[in-house]
Amino acid sequence: MAVTAAVIGCGGIAKFHFAGLEKAGARVRYVCDLAPDRAQPWAERFGARFAADYAEPFADPEVDMAVVTTVSSAHKRICAAAIDAGKAVICEKTLAENANDALAIVRRAERRGTVFFTSYMKRFIPAVRKANALLPSLGRILSTHVRAYQPWGDLWSAAPAKGLFHTPASDRSQVVKNYGGGILTCGGSHILDLILFLLGRPSRLFATLHVPDGRDYDLQAAALMQTENGVVHFEALAHPLRRVGFLKDGWDERIEINGLNGRLELYSALWDAVDTKASMLVHYNNTTGRTRTYRFKPVSPFERAIAFFCRSVDNGCQAGQSRWTGYEVDELIAHIKRSAASGRAVRVNWRGGENGEIDSSGL
């Protein structure tokens, strides 16, 4: 039985969710957006109804699931309404504008027993899946180095006078309004989720942030984290370098995990070029002295994630990935900001839940 979905928000990220729903065989009954022109092409493609107000699809008993792809600032009220209406939820990252709102969303879903997923799709990259399977071969993990270097152009030389990264004197920039922050939130959140997925929750961290004068967003974030699986060195950077990274396209996202018995090096490809670019994994086995490189065909992690979520909703169970996933990332972001502001190391105050693992069956 295919699930029936209402997609709330038809901005740029929605196209990946629509493609995933289509591939998974889900029925899209509603598309909802404040701008009819954005929603209409999707309504026509899926033979779906248009609604300007999400209250309409949430009142429809035929709708099983809300797919929330709006800006993060709208997530709390939309997710709350969906949960109260008895709908399962797939919500884009970041879950909320802050950790308190994320916690409130998840606690609401927990109380109602709602099937609830935050769509951190990089967990479903084939190279990530393989890295997770190979982790036990490393033995005791000692140290992990993580970087998310993304080509945002030269935002370092001067403050933009207009556009997404312009910060008005008496208002917030569009990048903060739309996405909740700078490189830490936009680029680093996915990698923080992979740290949680692969290594578990950090217990303590020390962080720095660079926010240029006259801006309200960060261009660089770095943190040293303690986990039960060794120390993690993390950095997210918005940079102007066009030809760096393992594919020489400016995208330089890498995770290196070092254990007593070997090393894993995971290279992630440009997130919105999943049909043409693929990630790579390098595994060094210290017992055999051999190195093996895994090269995967381009595949959409969005489609893999949504297929997994839809199966869970169809089965009526919170399979594999914890409801707390989105909260965990938002809590980690909050503690990085807190440490950077104080100039001190902080203990991470986890206020509930556990770091969930993904059941790989059927993927």
Helix/strand/coil (H, E, C) string of the chain? CCCEEEEECCCCCHHHHHHHHHHHCCEEEEEECCCHHHHHHHHHHHCCEEECCCHHHHCCCCCCEEEECCCHHHHHHHHHHHHHCCCEEEECCCCCCCHHHHHHHHHHHHHHCCCEEECCHHHHCHHHHHHHHHHHHHCCEEEEEEEEEEECCCCCCCCCCCCCCCCCCCCCCHHHHHHCCCHHHHHHHHHHHHHHHHHCCCCEEEEEEECCCCCCCCCEEEEEEEECCEEEEEEEEEECCCCCCCCCCCCEEEEEEEECCEEEEEEECCCCCCCCCCCEEEEEECCCCEEEEEECCCCCHHHHHHHHHHHHHHHCCCCCCCCCHHHHHHHHHHHHHHHHHHCCCEECCCCCCCCCCCCCCCC
CA distance to 10, 81, 232, 347, per residue, from 42 (Å)? 8, 23, 42, 45
Identify residue 200 by its one-letter amino acid code: G
pLDDT value, residue 304: 96
As given in the structure block, the two tokens for residue 49 are 């109804």
Domain ranges of the chain: 4-122+303-322, 123-300+330-347
As given in the structure block, the two tokens for residue 348 are 């991470």
pLDDT value, residue 357: 38
- Contact in structure between 312 and 117 (CB atoms under 8 Å): yes
Cα four-point dihedral sign 273, 221, 190, 39: negative
Alpha carbon distance 343, 346 (integer Å): 9
Total-model pTM = 0.95
Alpha carbon distance 168, 203 (integer Å): 37
pLDDT value, residue 1: 52
Question: How many other C-beta atoms lie within 10 A of the C-beta of residue 253?
Answer: 24
Candidates 3.30.420.40, 3.40.50.720, 3.40.50.2020, 3.10.129.10; CATH matching 4-122+303-322: 3.40.50.720
pLDDT value, residue 275: 81
Q: With CA atoms as reference, report the closest residue to 355 among 235, 198, 229, 233.
A: 198
CATH 3.90.1200.10 fits 123-300+330-347, yes or no: no
pLDDT value, residue 358: 36
Show pLDDT as tens, one digit a residue, over the chain (363 residues). 589 999 999 999 999 999 999 999 999 999 999 999 999 999 999 999 999 999 999 999 999 999 999 999 999 999 999 999 999 999 999 999 999 999 999 999 999 999 999 999 999 999 999 999 999 999 999 999 999 999 999 999 999 999 999 999 989 999 998 888 999 999 999 999 999 999 999 999 999 999 999 999 999 999 999 999 999 999 999 999 999 999 999 999 999 999 999 999 999 999 989 789 999 999 999 999 999 999 999 999 999 999 999 999 999 999 889 999 999 999 999 999 999 999 999 999 999 986 443 333 333
